[in-house]
Amino acid sequence: MRPEPRLIEVRKNVLKQNDVVARELRNRFRAAGVFVVSLVSSPGSGKTAFLEKTLTLLGRNYRVAALVGDLATENDAARLARSEAPVKQITTGTLCHLEAAMVQSALEGWNLQELDFLFVENVGNLVCPSSYDLGEDLRLILISVTEGEDKPLKYPTIFHSADVAIVTKVDLAAAVEFDWQAAYNNIQAVRPGMIVLQVSSKSGAGMEEYLGFLVAHLARLRQTAAV
């Protein structure tokens, strides 16, 4: 007679491997004193234009670099190279998100101590990136005014994995009758207390406030490290 099936306890996080690498990365970033910002959004929300503007403006006074995830092309890296910041493309193939190990291998040969800010642009996707910690200090979620105000309600999980929301393409807000208050309320409904900033990469509106926000974070990080 076959014995009865037996239950053995395991209790292991499925994403443990990713979390371990993310923790290693975070320690490395801390030791180098670099502030790491990742960007998530749906495809077409203006991540690359926003990042290009960020690298160009921030690059005037700070040492900046970026890693960009893309399914198949190297177009984004080519666009970002116009900012003259060091940029490396991570081509994910069919994978719909970045994982910590991809960031780790993309950083091989980079001296992080020569950087103030490192940006990591995730693959355009509002679902899968939410499960993966990349070791970043700050995760920005971008939503463009052309996407509609209810994105937060449809994708609450990704809003929970992010720290700050950036509403992009605000220069188009009037044309698409974007309801700012409704969008803001929806973000607050799924993620109470979330900081929301508005920018236009095209006109530059809101960029100053956003960059000031990043610089304040870097200063705080360095201050904590110095103590």
Partner 1 sequence: MHELSIAMSIVEMAEEEAAGRNAQITAVHLKLGALSGVVKEALFSCYELACEGTVLKGSRLVVEEVPVVIFCATCQGERSLGSMQLFCCPKCGAPASQITQGKELEVVALEIQECVPNPV
Site residues for partner 1 per CB under 8 A: 2-3, 5-15, 17, 95-97, 127-128, 130-131, 153, 156-158, 160-161, 188-193
What is d(CA 202, CA 220) in angstroms, rounded to the nearest whole number?
29
Smallest separation, CB 129 to partner 1 (Å): 8
Smallest separation, CB 85 to partner 1 (Å): 29
What is d(CA 206, CA 203) in angstroms, rounded to the nearest whole number?
9
Angle between helices 47-58 and 207-226 (to 10 degrees): 60
Query: Which one, 5 or 109, has the nearer CB to partner 1?
Result: 5
| Plot region of 169 (φ>0 → left; ψ -120 to 50 → alpha; else → beta) | left
Smallest separation, CB 122 to partner 1 (Å): 12
Q: Which of 218, 159, 227 is nearest to 187 (CA)?
A: 159
Query: Which one, 47 or 191, has the nearer CB to partner 1?
Result: 191
Smallest separation, CB 9 to partner 1 (Å): 5
- Identity of the residue numbered 69: G
Smallest separation, CB 214 to partner 1 (Å): 23
- Identity of the residue numbered 159: F
Query: Which one, 96 or 106, has the nearer CB to partner 1?
Result: 96
Query: Which one, 107 or 158, has the nearer CB to partner 1?
Result: 158
Q: Please report the beta strands in 82-168, taking only residues with DSSP state E, as ranges in sequence order.
A: 87-91, 117-121, 138-144, 164-168
Query: Which one, 101 or 215, has the nearer CB to partner 1?
Result: 101
